[in-house]
Chains A and B, each alone.
Chain A
Amino acid sequence: MNPLIEVRGLHYRYEDGTVALNGVDFRLEPGESVALLGPNGSGKTTFALHLNGLLRGEGDIQVCGLAVEKQNLPAIRRKLGIVFQDSDSQLFMPTVVEDVAFGLLNLGMDSASALVKARAALETVGMTGAEGKAPYHLSAGEKKRVAIAGILAMEPEILVLDEPTTFLDPPGHRSLAELLAQLPQPKILITHDSRLAAALCNRAVFFDRGQVAGEGPVDMIVARFGWDLAWERSKLRF
């Protein structure tokens, strides 16, 4: 079967010339979820932004069989949804329901159908009743759910989540993990949380300084690169 995502030789430089991605190859097979691990600044988010054409580097990228080129972008952006790290920057509409319906209206849907689908998406994430609320009044966890609803409403085939558990407290963390586990779509999960990665993903890709430094089962990669968060007090040196 054809891979859902195929990336070959992706290179990208920032405006000031720094190399952000230095020849990245990547595949996402149907039905699998992949975790992207690695230090801050290693290029994980930059890589993700190339998948739907928000950044343009050199190399080949195919998403759901479509090359990431200008004429395919509308279709690709429907099929591949990104949940960004900062929910405040993603929930830019005045009310929750307007934000969730934003993508649907842009797809050309009429208001009535968009409203129905938006409500369904809100129900999926457990935020029914928050329709008329302003995003500013929501907690971090609630904002994240609404952001996810905004993506789910567009019925994507692939979900990309950039550090979704940032700003969440432990209960929020847990309920988000439960929600994500219920979503059937294949996921690309950028995270520092190795346990979340192990719970949701089949395999992990480790980024370091713009390159793929290793890939394989999550536990193996975590062990190999020391990416575990569990410490023992006795082992910490004061």
Chain B
Amino acid sequence: MRHAVLERWARGSSPFHRCDSRAKIVALLVFLIALATANRGLPLFACGLLVLLVAALLWARVPVWGALVRAGVVLPFSAVFAAVSWLAGDPARGASLSMKSYLSALAVLLVISTTPLPVLLRGLGAMGVPHFLLDVGQFLYRYFFVISEEAQCMNQAAAARGATVRQWTPGGQRFRASAGALAVLFARSYARAEDIHRAMLARGYRGRFLLLDAARFRRADVLFTAVASLAPLALRIAVERALP
């Protein structure tokens, strides 16, 4: 599964992995904004950014080809809009959509495959995002796989009893069976949440999650933030200067 691969990559060790997540978040935002606001000389700029990202992937010892392919998850969506744009007589916009969405996805992929999600969420918390929201996100991620497995089991059990998608009527028996399955899954999830809460209380939870270690922003992180942020900006200035 996709996320399993990304998780494995995120557990690697490279200088990139060791950078503070806040540094990576800042650099990512600068990259995305530089890309999103670019219009002149976009193809050239996009190529330059691609080179930058590939270099970063190499430095992070993340499989480059794997990353390039996985970032393509956004392409089907963009392809449709690109095709429509092209047919409507605006091929430039179509190309722009595709390039920008792909490179943005690749940049995010770079960050998520070098930073475990809980660490990333913690970095966001240190930057001012409400902790409650991040804690919900953390739990969401933790239990997504558990509940997905339960959902799959229910799907398989239903399929084993001959339920296939043959009946067309929404409101029909098959439909109501699926709704019933969802309701059961909901009830089980609700009950699980109560179990988790009891387990939390049993070990002294008083309403706040306390951190085991507070990440410190080192000089290396400052350097990284500076370089990683300036690179796309410098590239863009260079490209726009080079244009007639």
Seen from chain B, the residues whose Cβ lies within 8 Å of a Cβ on chain A are: 7, 11, 116-118, 138-139, 141-143, 145-146, 192, 195-196, 198-206, 210-214
Is the Cβ of A94 less than 8 Å from the Cβ of B198?
Answer: no
Is the Cβ of B199 less than 8 Å from the Cβ of A74?
Answer: no
Is the Cβ of B201 less than 8 Å from the Cβ of A89?
Answer: no
- Bound complex: CA A101 to CA B211 (Å): 9
Cβ of A34 < 8 Å from any Cβ of B? no
- Bound complex: CA A228 to CA B192 (Å): 31
Q: Is the interface of B mostly helix, strand, loop or mixed?
A: helix
Is the Cβ of B210 less than 8 Å from the Cβ of A89?
Answer: no
Indicate which residue in A81, A82, A89 contacts B192 across the interface (CB closer than 8 Å): A89
Query: Could you tell me the distance in whole angstroms from the C-beta of A150 to the nearest C-beta in chain B?
Result: 7
Is the Cβ of B195 less than 8 Å from the Cβ of A102?
Answer: no
Query: Could you tell me the distance in whole angstroms from the C-beta of A78 to the nearest C-beta in chain B?
Result: 7
Is the Cβ of A77 less than 8 Å from the Cβ of B203?
Answer: yes
Is the Cβ of B212 less than 8 Å from the Cβ of A54?
Answer: no
20 A-B residue pairings within 8 Å (CB atoms):
A52-B202, A54-B198, A54-B202, A74-B204, A86-B192, A89-B195, A92-B196, A94-B118, A94-B142, A98-B212, A101-B212, A102-B200, A102-B203, A103-B204, A106-B210, A114-B212, A115-B212, A134-B7, A136-B142, A136-B145
Q: With a CB–CB cut-off of 8 A, which chain A residues contact B198? A: 49, 54, 84
Query: Could you tell me the distance in whole angstroms from the C-beta of A56 to the nearest C-beta in chain B?
Result: 12
- Bound complex: CA A86 to CA B146 (Å): 12
Is the Cβ of B202 less than 8 Å from the Cβ of A81?
Answer: yes
- Closest residue of chain A to B213 (Cβ to Cβ) is A111
Query: Could you tell me the distance in whole angstroms from the C-beta of A100 to the nearest C-beta in chain B?
Result: 10
Seen from chain A, the residues whose Cβ lies within 8 Å of a Cβ on chain B are: 49, 52, 54, 74, 77-78, 81-82, 84, 86, 88-90, 92-95, 97-98, 101-103, 105-107, 111, 114-115, 132, 134-136, 150-151, 154
Is the Cβ of B212 less than 8 Å from the Cβ of A103?
Answer: no
Closest 10 pairs (CB-CB, A-B): A106-B204, A103-B203, A94-B118, A89-B195, A105-B210, A90-B199, A89-B196, A54-B198, A92-B196, A136-B145
Given the known interface contacts A94-B138, A101-B212, A105-B212, the answer about A77 and B202 at a Cβ–Cβ threshold of 8 Å is yes
- Bound complex: CA A90 to CA B201 (Å): 11
- Bound complex: CA A150 to CA B142 (Å): 18
- Bound complex: CA A102 to CA B150 (Å): 27
Q: With a CB–CB cut-off of 8 A, which chain B residues contact A136? A: 142, 145-146
13 further contact pairs, Cβ within 8 A, besides A105-B210, A105-B211, A132-B11: A54-B198, A86-B195, A89-B196, A90-B199, A92-B142, A102-B205, A103-B203, A106-B205, A106-B206, A111-B213, A114-B212, A135-B142, A151-B203
Q: Which of A78, A95, A103, A106 gathers most chain B CB within 10 Å?
A: A106
- Closest residue of chain B to A106 (Cβ to Cβ) is B204
- Bound complex: CA A204 to CA B139 (Å): 38
Is the Cβ of A84 less than 8 Å from the Cβ of B199?
Answer: yes
- Closest residue of chain B to A107 (Cβ to Cβ) is B204
- Bound complex: CA A115 to CA B214 (Å): 13
- Bound complex: CA A54 to CA B206 (Å): 14
- Closest residue of chain A to B139 (Cβ to Cβ) is A92
Query: Could you tell me the distance in whole angstroms from the C-beta of B63 to the nearest C-beta in chain A?
Result: 20
Q: With a CB–CB cut-off of 8 A, which chain B residues contact A134? A: 7, 142
Q: With a CB–CB cut-off of 8 A, which chain B residues contact A98? A: 212
Indicate which residue in A86, A111, A135, A154 contacts B203 across the interface (CB closer than 8 Å): A154
Query: Could you tell me the distance in whole angstroms from the C-beta of A105 to the nearest C-beta in chain B?
Result: 4
Query: Could you tell me the distance in whole angstroms from the C-beta of A166 to the nearest C-beta in chain B?
Result: 14
Given the known interface contacts A88-B146, A92-B142, A135-B142, the answer about A106 and B212 at a Cβ–Cβ threshold of 8 Å is no
Q: With a CB–CB cut-off of 8 A, which chain B residues contact A102? A: 200, 203, 205
Q: Which of A86, A94, A115 gathers most chain B CB within 10 Å?
A: A94
- Bound complex: CA A44 to CA B141 (Å): 32
Is the Cβ of B211 less than 8 Å from the Cβ of A111?
Answer: yes
Q: With a CB–CB cut-off of 8 A, which chain A residues contact B211? A: 105, 111
- Bound complex: CA A86 to CA B199 (Å): 10
Q: With a CB–CB cut-off of 8 A, which chain A residues contact B7? A: 134
Query: Could you tell me the distance in whole angstroms from the C-beta of A111 to the nearest C-beta in chain B?
Result: 6
- Bound complex: CA A56 to CA B113 (Å): 46
Is the Cβ of B195 less than 8 Å from the Cβ of A84?
Answer: yes
- Bound complex: CA A144 to CA B24 (Å): 35
Query: Could you tell me the distance in whole angstroms from the C-beta of B119 to the nearest C-beta in chain A?
Result: 8
